[in-house]
Structure 1
Amino acid sequence: MLGHPTLYIGVALVSAALLGWRANRGWFGVAAATFGVVLLLALGMPFAMFFVNQEPDLLVETATSSEVHTMLYLTIYGPLLATVGALVFGVPLASLLARGFTGQAIVESLVDLPLVVPHSVAGILILFGFGKHGLFPGMSVLTTMTGMVLALTFVSAPYAVNTTREAFESIDSGLEYAARSHGATPFETFRRIQVPLASRGIVTGGVLAWARGVSEFGAIAIVAYSVNFFYPFTGKETVSQHAPVYILDTYRSAGLQHASAVAFILLVMSAGIFLVVRLLTGTKSGGFL
């Protein structure tokens, strides 16, 4: 069957139908299981075929490339800076949104707006907002780490804010009232009650924001297609590209197999980071991570 992957579809559909029937839910169970498997196949088969068609020698060559190492560093570091910024400024805002205030609908709309803005438009907005004629005329945005971080913060902040807000909303307001009644200031209540109880949601929001930053292409292609930054492993300025941009350039210049090798390394790295975060935070398999 390895040479005929289409056969897996038939086997999976028949297996799903049998499982649905054995669940004693009649024809509805059969239909539900079959439709569910169709979606799972659409999601899972690209990954399966991607992994089984990798060339080991090319993977080793890619994994040992200094150029790829520089790209991976930029792909981790840039989104990490954006995530830290989104959490530092977004967590207090999420706390306010969870409790409500006058004009909240306007603020929520502004927070959610980057979710519906086309990615390339997000890059153009960053240039208008922070470029030559923006808020800080003297700040260099194009092809810089600053521009990259601003673009990534713009597209990833909604994930950090909204997930953290949901965590704050799940906290029993009676605990905050009790803290205030015992003399705690609003900041002390926020620091000692709200943040510890919402820490799982804050971490989840941070991970989602980081993952969103890693996958961003459109805004980065506009603002920082190639990025000039300090690379600590060489101790000097260097130029590299964010992973989605780098993979596209590799696909154009070297073909699908070379691009897929880079993508494989990126997927393994991202999965490893998610696993480490899950282990460090004690997140159970049923959560976002």
Structure 2
Amino acid sequence: MRTPDLDARTLVLGVAGVHVTVFALAGSLGHPTLYVVFAVASAGFLGLLAGRGAFGVAAALCGGTLLVALAYPLATLVTFTTPTAVLDALARPDVRRTLYVSVYGPLLATLLAGVLGVPLALLLRRGFAGQAAIEALVDLPLVVPHSVAGLAVLLAFGQNGAFPTLPVLGATPGLVLALAFVGAPYLVNGAREGFEAVDRDAERAARSLGASRFETFRRVTGPLAVRGVLSGAVLCWGRAVSEYGAVAVVAYNVAVFYPPAGERVQAMFGSVFVVHELDVNFQSAVAVAVLLLVVCVAVFLAVRALTRETGRWT
């Protein structure tokens, strides 16, 4: 029997349909405030229907206000432009190059952060002397201003830096290093939470049956922690996609191999391209922003779906 799930799904779809209708109506009347008020009030009403008392209603109102603050700007962005304008933007070669760099660069940064960060997350889960200092160092990029992070990466790894022969300024390696710098904390912390959720008794049981440390990790720890690792990777990729400050310093224009052209081309990272486009044509900038949003959300949802399925397999 799946009736409760079906009823819940029907309720969600019904509420979403009402919100879309009211949003469109408020926009057509030129009074978007009406929708904001409706959205917050409807959250409180749903909290009241849940029957959890005054505290439940207050919590629903607070949560509804936050959700409106998160969703309403994106809905406004998407409805500001037209499908024709978005398709026109997609037809531009420079926009297609931007989309490629905006997905390709963060994926490389996530791979780099994963190869280097997952073993560190495992060590942090097991504990060692000086762990508090290492944890603070891992989280430090979260509080460093983004332009400062870009400048730090440029000075550390650019010309006369640790790897003098590595192209950093305006190059793909510099872009990847900058994105990995800002995104790595999310991957390390997500992976560590995944490892910490693994039952140590299961690991001890595997060792007692003669499994080596590597076999225990491969057959027990790794599969049980993979969902946390993938969740951290999703957050790392999402953080990298949204980066602007560090990229603007290190790779405002980046030279990257572009498969459709079969050669290296100059391209801008997505967030940098949108800001640059604002100085040229506001309508075009919005269309490009919507296109980037659609691509990033599609990749994000696909990876999240993979994460859920992996959680079921494990």
Alignment TM-score, normalising by the size of structure 1: 0.91
The match for 1:186 is 213
1:278 touches 1:284 (CA, 8 Å); kept in 2? no
SS of structure 2 residue aligned to 1:282: helix
The match for 2:75 is 48
Aligned residues: 284
Residues 227-265 of structure 1, C-alpha deviations (whole Å, 9 max, x = no match):
01111111111000110000100111112x211111111
The match for 1:39 is 66
CA distance in 1, matches of 2:134, 2:288: 39
CA distance in 2, matches of 1:30, 1:175: 42
- Given the alignment, which residue of 264, 277, 280 partners 1:253? 280
CA distance in 1, matches of 2:217, 2:99: 36
Question: Which range moved further: 10-19 or 207-216?
Answer: 10-19
- Given the alignment, which residue of 283, 292, 296 partners 1:266? 292
Residues 183-222 of structure 1, C-alpha deviations (whole Å, 9 max, x = no match):
3332222222211111111111111111111111111111
CA distance in 1, matches of 2:231, 2:53: 39
CA distance in 2, matches of 1:252, 1:177: 61
* Unpaired runs of at least 5, structure 1: none
Matched, 1:148 2:175: yes
The match for 1:220 is 247
Alpha-carbon spacing, 1:211–1:18, altered in 2? closer, same or farther (3 Å): closer
Identity in percent: 51
Matched, 1:72 2:108: no
Residues 117-173 of structure 1, C-alpha deviations (whole Å, 9 max, x = no match):
110010111122112222112222100001001111111111111000000001111
The match for 2:203 is 176
* Unpaired runs of at least 5, structure 2: 1-25
Matched, 1:109 2:136: yes
What value does the CA root-mean-square deviation take over the aligned residues? Answer: 2.0
SS of structure 2 residue aligned to 1:253: coil
SS of structure 1 residue aligned to 2:279: helix
Alpha-carbon spacing, 1:190–1:263, altered in 2? closer, same or farther (3 Å): same
Alignment TM-score, normalising by the size of structure 2: 0.84
